[in-house]
Amino acid sequence: MSPKTSSRFGVTTAQHQQRGLSLIELMVAITLGLLVMAAVLALFLNVTRTNTEMAKTNRQIENGRFAIQVLQDDLAHAGFWGTFVPNFDDLTSRGAPLDAPDAIPNPCLAYSTANWTAAHTKNLVGIPVQGSAGTCTVVANQQANTDVLVVRHAQNCVAGVGDCEAEDANKLYFQASLCEAEMSGIAQNVSTTNSMSLNANASATDDFYNGAIIRIVEGNGKGLVGKITDYEGSTRVATVENITVPPGASWAYVNNGSFYAFGNGYALGTSGFIFHKRNCTDAAEKRKFVSHIYYIRNFASTAGDGIPTLMRSTLDLSSGALAHQAAQPLVEGIEGFRVEYGIDDTSDAGNAVNNSAAIAWADPFNLLSPTNRGDGVPDRWVGAAGVTCTSADDCDAANVVAVRVHVLARSESLTRGYTDSKTYRLGSIAAAMGPFNDGFKRHVFSTTIRLVNPAGRRDTP
């Protein structure tokens, strides 16, 4: 039927019949709207879930990389002692060194002059990296099947200079001398067989040189090596064991690279910093002694929270005592920690390294290849249990020139619908970790760090 029309003032209009949606049409429209809303909601939830997982993954990667960076930066300074080079690792030395480490030290032995004997300090300086924490109570709540890493060195900045921490008379510092007058001397007079007077440059402090090793380089006793067991500062008289003939007044002596010795030795403590720079006028630099212990704790902030965390304990002053302090959390979510040590125990000539013997050169006229010292390149890799030190001539710990660090970073929260059925290899020595069969995501981060200071000293052209 055609619509009705009407005409007024010559204008024709059509009258259309109007009506609303039917019930069926309304229900279809509502259904389509709900479907669209459901799709948008699902998309929103998926995007949110993806963003959450991406954030967790990014944080996991960030934690793993940061843990590696912290360890790498500290290990790069291991064995740095300013201008001092241990005699056993000094390719310019002559004669058999007496400062070769002979035991792995207890890193948590609190500082005192009674505790930190010459023998203990010799091992601390000669073994800058170790995998044993000894009797450390600061290594608490350690995560099962993880390693401990100890790193020692002098601070890479001078106390009180620039942004470096100001000097504190109660803290531990390391000082080495470059003054030639402090590096050697002439015996002033003759006493008994094992007693000699040092020159006027020697310290006026009683027992200051106890434990120092000196070598007679000129005079009737040339070649003799002895250790100072007692020292009287007012008279400069030292009791020296192993000197079998009376010292002559013209005997010339030098330090043999030992604790509190004359110049090319060092002072390590809270006092007794008498050494000078090469001009013998300006005081030698003092650097803070750094000792760090790294391990994994099985919780982050509250016991039982289940978030494994990389921890670090630092040797510092607290309540008047110099000792390793309670460990502080560094990086959360680090579940696995394994360390492998590169041992340089074979010379480039193929002979075994013997740090307690005088350096033997393949060609005595061209000192390019020591046959009983390492070449700075790892010959084998071992785990913490394989880094031993039973004597001065059998001490793998003193021959560590590189370190491989492996960390297993874990997400801090579960991922719904995910099950971790993988196994993880943290190096080639330790057993694999996993499968964990839980909802945490994991990733292994590894790096190899060359110990620049110990390895670099062994480099030859």
Write the pLDDT tens digit of every residue in 375-396: 999 999 999 999 999 999 999 9
183 pLDDT exceeds 80? no
Specify the pLDDT at position 55.
85
Residues 255 and 190 in one domain: yes
Please tell me the pTM assigned to this model.
0.81
pLDDT: which is higher, 4 or 395? 395
Q: How confident is the model at residue 95 (pLDDT cuts 50, 70, 90)?
A: confident
User: In this structure, is residue 6 part of a structural domain?
Assistant: no
Residues 130 and 189 both lie in one domain: no
Residues 399 and 347: beta-carbon distance below 8 Å = no
Residue 52 placed within a domain? no
String of DSSP letters for 5-27: EEEETTEEEE-PPP----HHHHH
- Work out how many domains the chain is built from and give that number: 2
Claim to verify: residue 423 and residue 348 sit in the same structural domain = yes
- Alpha carbons within 13 angstroms on the beta-carbon side of residue 365 total 0
Tokens of 392: 């001065």
* Residue 356 falls inside a structural domain: yes
CA 245 to chain centre: 45
The tens digit of pLDDT for each residue in 189-242 reads 445 667 777 776 667 778 877 777 777 766 667 767 777 888 888 888 888 887
347-376: pLDDT as tens digits: 999 999 999 998 999 998 898 999 999 999
What span, in angstroms and rounded, lies between the C-alpha atoms of 82 and 154?
A: 7
Query: Which of the listed residues 269, 300, 327 is the one where a domain comes to its end?
Result: 269
Whether 28 is covered by a domain: the verdict is no
**Torsion (CA) 202, 206, 212, 217 in degrees, nearest 10:** 40
In a domain, 29, yes or no: no
DSSP 346: B
Residues 302 and 442 in one domain: yes
Q: Is 10 left (phi over 0), alpha (psi -120 to 50) or beta?
A: left
pLDDT the model gives residue 260: 37
Q: Is 60 helix (H, G, I), strand (E, B) or coil?
A: helix
For residue 439, pLDDT over 50 is answered with yes
For 242, 418, 425, 439, 444, the CA distances from 414, given in Å and listed in that order, are: 67, 8, 22, 5, 18
Q: Is residue 329 part of a domain?
A: yes
- Tokens representing residue 145 in the block: 């099947």
Residues written for the chain:
461
Of 196, 34, 88, 9, residue with least CA distance to 457: 88
pLDDT of residue 314: 98
The arithmetic mean of pLDDT across residues 250-272, rounded, is: 61
Is 417 inside any structural domain?
A: yes
Q: Give the integer Cα–Cα distance in Å for 132 and 155.
A: 22
Q: Could you report the per-residue pLDDT of 12-50, keeping only the tens digit for each?
A: 555 556 667 788 888 888 999 899 999 999 888 888 887
End-to-end distance of the chain based on CA atoms, in angstroms?
110
* 146/295 same-domain check: yes
Give domain status of residue 238, yes or no.
yes
Same domain, 293 and 434: yes
Q: Which of 269, 300, 333 is the last residue of a domain?
A: 269
Q: Is the peptide bond before 105 cis (omega within 30 degrees of 0)?
A: no
Structure token pair of residue 166: 């100001």
Exposure string over 74-111, b if 16+ CB within 10 A, otherwise e:
bbbbbbbbbbbbbbbbbeebeebbbbbbbbbbbbbbeb
Alpha helices of 276-327 — where are they, by DSSP H?
A: none
d(CA 242, CA 224): 8
**Residue 227: which domain range?**
175-269
Rounded to whole angstroms, how far apart are CA atoms 261 and 126? 15
Q: Are 292 and 262 within one domain?
A: no
Q: Which of 241, 269, 297 represents a domain boundary (last residue)?
A: 269
Residues with Cβ within 8 Å of residue 165, at least 6 apart in sequence: 155, 159, 288
